[in-house]
Amino acid sequence: MTNQEIKTQAFKIVKDLIVLKHNVKNGCYSDRKELTEKEARLEGIKAWLKENDMLNDVFYMLNNNSLKRNMHFEINDLITFFNA
């Protein structure tokens, strides 16, 4: 896979995490398993983005996400994670 394909998949996982976190917070317990599985991949995604100097791209994507209006708490949690 090329870097662009990996980046696209990583961003898809991050966007999915935003929705899953929001759903679980609002009581959708059926999404917990998928949320746990995807959260386990976050450390690897963060490491890969740092290694390939693309961490700023994820901040840009999270700050300009159309979901920000409704799911800003979940997005801020991810921004904090990637900032650490």
Q: Which residue has the higher pLDDT, 67 or 53?
A: 53
CA distances from 18 to 1, 21, 56 (A): 25, 5, 18
- Dist CA 56 CA 82 (whole Å): 9
Print the domain residue range for 44: 3-83
Q: Tokens 């599985």 label which residue? A: 37
Number of domains in the chain: 1
Q: Using a cut of 0.75, tell me whether the model's pTM lies above it.
A: yes
* pLDDT score of 7: 93
Q: What is the pLDDT of residues 70-83, one digit of tens each?
A: 788 888 899 899 98
Neighbours of 5 (CB within 10 A): 9
Q: In whole angstroms, how large is the CA radius of gyration of the chain?
A: 13
